Amino acid sequence: MTENALFTPAMGPLTIALFVLPQASILEVASALDPLRNANRQLGQEAFRWRVVTPDGLPVPLTCGIELPSSGNLSHAIGADALIVIAGYRLAEVATRPLIRDLRRIAPRFALVGGIDAAPWVMARADLLNGYRATVHWEDLEDMAAMHPDIDVVPDRYVIDRNRATIGGAAAATDFMLHLIRARHGAAQARQVAASFLATVRKGSEPQIAPLAQDPALDPRVARAVALMEAALDVPEPVAAIAATVGISPRRLETLFRQDLGLTPGAYALGLRLAAVRRLLTDTAHPLSEIALRTGFSSPATLSRAFRARFGQPPGSLRTAGFLSAKISHGGAGV
């Protein structure tokens, strides 16, 4: 991980501008700001300063329905040491051409430009990540890697590469801020802040989702079987093959699954695939044929039957009824 001068011991104040886009999460905003507030309290000084800016300078609507007050539009971020973009859903609507253009133009004014959750997509569209190592929320990793081959996309919690920082989500935003506090004010200070939130200090290189094998409530053989299922959503293995891999009979595997998860292995695997279908339907603009391919269904018709049986409605209803707006669009929001 390559860092910059912001991540060196310093007693002077550091100013961060949060550029919050509509339909971002309040948890991501809080995860970015509250560790800094708490660090100031612990230090007894204003070691960190912040301001919230929005695309139009007005209060910004968040996913929970609350509007977050703003200090002004993006130009009001000028003068801060770092600019951190926070984005969530409906990027096709909120990440407009003018916004992308303005972000690209203003980026050189900051020692660090970062993005939380879906914001690395916005940064990528502004050509701010070409040639960099970066991450994005785990649901979007595959698409971002495919659409932006000039970016070294990795599944880390957060990545700092020179004058760029990318952060996978709300919990990872806390990890990132704790790392910043530690770098500037020491490990003891970071631990005190973490303890205030009952959090732990985690490295950026850790995976965004903890391996299921670490769950003490699960039999290790169940955890391993689930990991195999999660790793092969597009080419699901038969239960008998999974059982053989973990070293037990299919019947024993079924017994363990029923004890630990309340489902048969087959039902659990299908649930994983259908959850992925639902996520791709609501968060992307991929056609049903591609979604079927990515989730191991032989055809869109097969996917539709399984989806209707599980959720009581056809997959297309999530889009035609406007159930959720796509998080990622392959359309013309970029430049």
Task: Answer yes or no: do 241 and 138 share one domain.
Answer: no
Task: Answer yes or no: do 79 and 146 share one domain.
Answer: yes
Model's pTM, two decimal places? 0.79
Residue ending a domain, among 148, 167, 196, is 196
The pLDDT tens digits of the residues spanning 114-163 come to: 999 999 999 999 999 999 999 999 888 988 998 999 999 999 999 999 99
Q: Is residue 68 part of a domain?
A: yes
Task: Answer yes or no: do 81 and 219 share one domain.
Answer: no
User: What CATH number should be reported for the domain holding residue 310?
Assistant: 1.10.10.60
Task: Answer yes or no: do 32 and 128 share one domain.
Answer: yes
Q: Is residue 252 part of a domain?
A: yes
The pLDDT tens digits of the residues spanning 224-273 come to: 999 899 889 999 999 999 999 999 999 999 999 999 999 999 999 999 99
Task: Answer yes or no: do 182 and 217 share one domain.
Answer: no
Q: Is residue 326 part of a domain?
A: no
Task: Answer yes or no: do 316 and 173 share one domain.
Answer: no
Contacts for 2-6: CB closer than 8 Å, 24+ residues apart: 2/160, 2/161, 2/162, 3/160, 3/162, 3/183, 4/111, 4/112, 4/160, 4/162, 4/163, 5/111, 6/81, 6/82, 6/111, 6/112, 6/180, 6/183, 6/184
What is residue 3's predicted lDDT score, i.e. its pLDDT?
Answer: 62
Residue ending a domain, among 196, 231, 253, is 196
Domain that holds residue 29: 5-196
User: What CATH number should be reported for the domain holding residue 20?
Assistant: 3.40.50.880
Domain total in the chain: 2
